[in-house]
């Protein structure tokens, strides 16, 4: 029985308009650009460059990285859209899979599988290294793990129950120091309990109830979590 072939990878995001604008801005002809690409290990004909700029051809990730270097611009500017996957963030940092795996401290196969499946299974230390290597914010990290819904559910459980019971699982998704995470989760739960227990500001025994204070729009637990975390010192990581 034949094994089914793995699905072809989605083409790396690419903006033909951005590529042409950068080339023209540098005053390069397509022939000159192919010479610059050759210096970065990619040998093509000038017609290939024009094919990229017309949208008829699509560069591979290696070609896109070489093109960015030849045009003296960040690769993300040639992608035309914000990175959305592990592969996109890696290419935006102009890294190969092997280079990314080495910086994170995991095997190449493990990293390649994470890109292919869209599932990241690293521990807290490896997750922090992943964020640093690919320039991910903590929100990016949660998103590329496909864990936004899980984080939101666990934060709601923190609000409704004991935050300590969720701390370890949340720490795997959001790799910040445990003491910092504990402070944020405790503050989140405390705020919600205080809000739920607030019944008004009138004086005891007053015959005329005081007018209720104007209500501020209440943030969802996950939004408030990010707000509280952003106020903490989390080293080189960004929210």
pLDDT band at 121 (very low <50, low <70, confident <90, very high): confident
Report which of 89, 94, 51 is spatially closest to residue 69, judged by C-alpha positions: 94
> What pLDDT, on a 0 to 100 scale, did the predictor assign at position 92?
95
Phi, psi of 74, deg, nearest 5: -65, 140
> What pLDDT, on a 0 to 100 scale, did the predictor assign at position 7?
55
pLDDT tens for residues 138-194? 999 999 888 899 999 999 998 888 889 999 999 989 999 999 999 999 999 988 877
CA distance 226 to 228: 5
Mean pLDDT, to the nearest integer, of 117-135?
89
pLDDT tens for residues 151-167? 999 999 988 888 899 99
CA distance 114 to 122: 9
Q: Please check the confidence at residue 5 and state whether its pLDDT lies above 60.
A: no
> What pLDDT, on a 0 to 100 scale, did the predictor assign at position 4?
52
CA distance 86 to 89: 5
The token pair that represents 77 in the structure block: 């500017």
Please tell me if the domain spanning 16-79 has the same topology as the one spanning 86-144.
Answer: yes
> What pLDDT, on a 0 to 100 scale, did the predictor assign at position 129?
92
Residue 10 is given by DSSP the state P
Complete DSSP assignment for 183-229: HHHHHHHHHHHHHHH----PPTT-SSPPPPPPPPPPPPHHHHHHHHH
The answer regarding whether domain 86-144 maps to CATH 1.10.260.40 reads yes
Domain regions of the chain by residue span: 16-79, 86-144, 148-197+219-230
Percent of the chain scoring above 70 in pLDDT = 86
The token pair that represents 86 in the structure block: 């592990």
Q: How far is CA 135 from the centre of its chain?
A: 8
The token pair that represents 210 in the structure block: 């005081």
- For the entire predicted model, the pTM comes to 0.80
pLDDT tens for residues 42-92? 999 999 999 999 999 999 999 999 999 999 999 999 999 999 999 999 999
- Provide CATH code, domain 16-79: 1.10.260.40
CA distance 167 to 186: 10
């Amino acid at each position: 029985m034949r094994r089914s072939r793995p699905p072809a990878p989605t083409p790396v995001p690419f903006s033909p308009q951005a590529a042409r604008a950068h080339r023209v801005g540098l005053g390069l002809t397509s022939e000159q650009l192919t010479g610059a690409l050759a210096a970065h290990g990619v040998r093509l004909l000038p017609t290939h460059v024009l094919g990229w700029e017309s949208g008829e051809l699509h560069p591979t990730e290696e070609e896109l990285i070489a093109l960015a270097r030849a045009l003296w611009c960040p690769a993300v500017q040639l992608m035309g859209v914000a990175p959305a996957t592990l592969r996109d963030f890696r290419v935006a940092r102009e890294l190969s899979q092997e280079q990314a795996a080495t910086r994170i401290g995991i095997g190449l196969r493990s990293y390649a599988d994470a890109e292919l499946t869209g599932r990241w299974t690293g521990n807290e230390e490896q997750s922090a290294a992943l964020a640093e290597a690919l320039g991910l914010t903590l929100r990016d990290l949660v998103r590329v793990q496909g864990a936004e819904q899980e984080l939101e559910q666990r934060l709601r459980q923190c609000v409704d129950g004991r935050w300590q019971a969720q701390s370890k699982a949340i720490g795997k998704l959001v790799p910040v120091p445990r003491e910092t995470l504990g402070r944020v989760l405790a503050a989140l739960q405390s705020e919600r309990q205080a809000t739920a227990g607030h019944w008004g500001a009138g004086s005891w025994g007053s015959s005329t109830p005081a007018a209720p204070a104007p209500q501020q729009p209440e943030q969802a637990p996950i939004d408030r979590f990010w707000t509280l975390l952003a106020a903490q010192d989390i080293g080189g990581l960004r929210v």
